[in-house]
Amino acid sequence: MNYHKFDVVIVGAGGAGLMSAMQLAHGASIAVISKLYPTRSHTGAAQGGVAAALGNQEEDHWKWHMFDTVKGGDYLVDQDAGEVLAREAIDAVYDLEHWGLPFNRTPDGKIDQRRFGGHSRNFGEGPVRRSCYAADRTGHMILQTMYQQSIKNQVRFFNEYMMLDLLMSDGQACGVVALCLRDGTIHTFHAKTVVLATGGYGRAWRITSNALACTGDGMAVAYRRGIPLEDMEMYQFHPTGLYKIGILLSEAARGEGAYLLNNEGERFCIRYAPTMQELAPRDMVSRFIVQEIAEGRGIDGKDYVYLSVAHLGKEKIDAKLPDITDFARNYLGVEPYYEPVPIQPTAHYAMGGIPTDIEGRVVTDEQNSVLPGLYAAGEVACVSVHGANRLGTNSLVDLIVFGRRAGKHIAAKWLPEAEFAPLPSDPDAYATEMVEGLLSRTTGETQENIRAELRDMMMEYVGVVRSEESLKNATAKLVELKERFGAIRLMDRTRTFNTELMEVIELGNLIECSEATIAGALARKESRGAHYRTDFEKRDDANFLSHTLAYRSETAGAPELRYKPVVITEFQPKERKY
Ligand SMILES: Cc1cc2nc3c(=O)[nH]c(=O)nc-3n(C[C@H](O)[C@H](O)[C@H](O)COP(=O)(O)OP(=O)(O)OC[C@H]3O[C@@H](n4cnc5c(N)ncnc54)[C@H](O)[C@@H]3O)c2cc1C
């Protein structure tokens, strides 16, 4: 057996994983396991910025940021967590600055800040400049900065190791099992602490902004081990993906003054959201677009509208939006200096995930019982600061605030008392069986159609708009896909960098995440945030002001659902107006 032993194993080297590692680099023995080379993590694709009420450009307060987060999340946000997010964002951003992150600057040398959707001054009076940024490559800079610092601090990296299983014994997490992609060997990591920081699962949809690696591995692995997934039906579509491709054009464009146009050349957002206009939250702007298209005002009657940046002028475009305008040139052949860019909503962000408390500890039920030794942070987790809809630039804050808190809690509170729990007997049995099963099967269907049908199904039935009928269709299709997946066959049965093996395991994970998403959506008979039901168009606080917990069952398509109350401290639910 390939055996490794560390005090802490962090799975994932994106913003959340690296931020946790930075807190632990002095003292504990730690390993970061990542299926990608760390700087290829999806955090590197984040463009727009990271929100923090620094007040460098105009008056701002963390309380306003907290309010916007709660309101933006359609009141499904746990407000104790929302408070931590808004308060600690400020210190976490200064940490990044001190580690060398090259933020854009104001003329007097402070971190520059820009507008983003849903961020407002004085509890909703109008937009505020709150998002700190490094051109349109903020996430790239975050990753580079923290990866350099981690190397400097001698963090041990296991790159291109893919976690397949989570180990528990004596009611405590005690390690993970991973596949070394280079040679196909299985490795057991024995640990006092496991941190899951494996990111989101946007690849479940056909049109998505997410990188190929965003396949919900951490969520699926935990779900298979009996840990519930929280609020998975809350999946965000970003309004501005490149038409047919889904590649993101950051909200930073609209923050800098770009606008959306329908076939009549009308700025339709003004009709729906007179105050915030194009800067209303993403769930709403995505629905505005879908409605314009449904009513025949898509461009040339097709399923897209225009994003126009041309009026901003070449100089501003080149200084503030260089990368995303290049995407339009390279992928669509459109010149944004002069032409509007065709866009459509694109699957973007999981508000749901593995439930945690505000220290990043994984909790497993309605009473928030802590699972000792297991932490989660970043997009894989649901602490729940985003509730039913995340505001732009609030994810990078989530990574650095809760990655930081998890790391600090492990160092100060957990490790001083924790012991290694013994490994279960045959710790790698499950993972070995999975891999050997796939490598030895010689009959059955290969992956392409199952993958394509899953992604089409999620797009059609579990997209911006849903209904009882669409979700029942989705459930039936999922049951079929799960059965076909159970008999899947590989074409490549070698062990060295077998990317087909990796992709098939990822496909299995996407199916698990989709199951929890569909079941939660079917049961939530209301419209809230990103979850919009044509058959229940209103938010229903009397029955659904609560978090969904989906527990895996052996019956395909039918997880057990339970509900836990939302933490409300200051802001009572109100109707959202923008
Ligand atoms: C195009 C795009 C633009 C965005 N722009 C912004 C923005 O401007 N502002 C903002 O706040 N948010 C933005 N977001 C959202 C934000 O970037 C992500 O939510 C966030 O970066 C996720 O970070 P993470 O650390 O949780 O995971 P990731 O950065 O996705 O990293 C996941 C890590 O886990 C590892 N991993 C995954 N599975 C396994 C496994 N099985 N075994 C081992 N390792 C594994 C990967 O190798 C990787 O290192 C954007 C997202 C996208 C897609």
Distance from residue 43's CA to the centre of ligand 1 (Å): 4
Residues 411 and 24: their CA atoms lie apart, in Å, by 6
Determine contact, residues 456/206, Cβ cutoff 8 Å. Answer: yes
Same CATH topology for 1-234+351-425+540-569 and 240-345: the answer is: no
Residue 45 Cβ inside 6 Å of ligand 1? The answer reads: yes
CATH class of 1-234+351-425+540-569: alpha beta
**DSSP reduced 3-state for 422:** coil
Which is the catalytic residue, given 203, 282, 404, 552?
282
Residue 193 Cβ inside 6 Å of ligand 1? The answer reads: no
Per-residue pLDDT, 312 = 94
Could you tell which of 393, 395, 513 is best to mutate to test the pocket of ligand 1, judged by most ligand atoms within 8 Å of the CB?
Answer: 395
Residue 138 Cβ inside 6 Å of ligand 1? The answer reads: yes
Per-residue pLDDT, 381 = 98
Tell me which of 3.20.80.10, 3.90.700.10, 3.40.50.970, 3.40.50.12280 is the CATH number of domain 240-345.
Answer: 3.90.700.10
Residue 384 Cβ inside 6 Å of ligand 1? The answer reads: no
Nearest CA to ligand 1 atom 13: 46
Distance from residue 199's CA to the centre of ligand 1 (Å): 5
Dihedral sign for Cα atoms in the order 17, 22, 24, 28:
positive
Residue 47 Cβ inside 6 Å of ligand 1? The answer reads: yes
Provide the residue type at 453 as one letter: E
Could you tell which of 37, 130, 198, 401 is best to mutate to test the pocket of ligand 1, judged by most ligand atoms within 8 Å of the CB?
Answer: 198
Give the DSSP H/E element, type plus range, for residue 120.
Answer: strand 113-121
| 187 φ, ψ (degrees, to nearest 5) | -125, 135
Query: Which among 523, 519, 517 is positioned nearest to 536, based on CA atoms?
Result: 523
Per-residue pLDDT, 565 = 97
Could you tell which of 18, 41, 208 is best to mutate to test the pocket of ligand 1, judged by most ligand atoms within 8 Å of the CB?
Answer: 41
Query: Which among 369, 344, 343, 346 is positioned nearest to 356, based on CA atoms?
Result: 369
Distance from residue 46's CA to the centre of ligand 1 (Å): 8
Residues 84 and 94: their CA atoms lie apart, in Å, by 16
Residues 342 and 330: their CA atoms lie apart, in Å, by 13
Distance from residue 54's CA to the centre of ligand 1 (Å): 24
Nearest CA to ligand 1 atom 2: 46
Give the DSSP H/E element, type plus range, for residue 375.
Answer: strand 370-376
Order of all β-strands in the sheet with 229-230: 229-230, 546-551, 560-565
This prediction's pTM:
0.97
Residue 14 Cβ inside 6 Å of ligand 1? The answer reads: yes
User: Residue ranges of the alpha helices (H) in 231-279?
Assistant: 252-255, 269-272
Residue 209 Cβ inside 6 Å of ligand 1? The answer reads: yes
**DSSP reduced 3-state for 156:** strand
Q: What residue ranges do the domains of the chain occupy?
A: 1-234+351-425+540-569, 240-345, 429-539
282 belongs to the catalytic site: yes
Residue 34 Cβ inside 6 Å of ligand 1? The answer reads: yes
Please state at what angle helix 62-72 crosses helix 79-98, rounded to 10 degrees: 130
429-539 architecture in CATH? Up-down Bundle (1.20)
Residue 46 Cβ inside 6 Å of ligand 1? The answer reads: yes
Buried b (16+ CB within 10 A) or exposed e, 428-443: bebbbebbeebeeeee
From first to last of the 578 residues of the chain, give the pLDDT tens digit: 799 999 999 999 999 999 999 999 888 899 999 999 999 999 999 988 999 999 999 999 999 999 999 999 999 999 999 999 999 999 999 999 999 999 999 999 999 999 988 999 999 999 999 999 998 899 999 999 999 999 999 999 999 999 999 999 989 999 999 999 999 999 999 999 999 999 999 999 999 999 999 999 999 999 999 999 999 999 999 999 999 999 999 888 998 899 999 999 999 999 999 998 999 999 999 999 999 999 999 999 999 999 999 999 999 999 888 888 899 999 999 999 999 999 999 999 999 999 999 999 999 999 999 999 999 999 999 999 999 999 999 999 999 999 999 999 999 999 999 999 999 999 999 999 999 999 999 999 999 999 999 999 999 999 999 999 999 999 999 999 999 999 999 999 999 999 999 999 999 999 999 999 999 999 999 999 999 999 999 999 999 999 999 999 999 889 999 999 999 999 999 998 88
Distance from residue 538's CA to the centre of ligand 1 (Å): 32
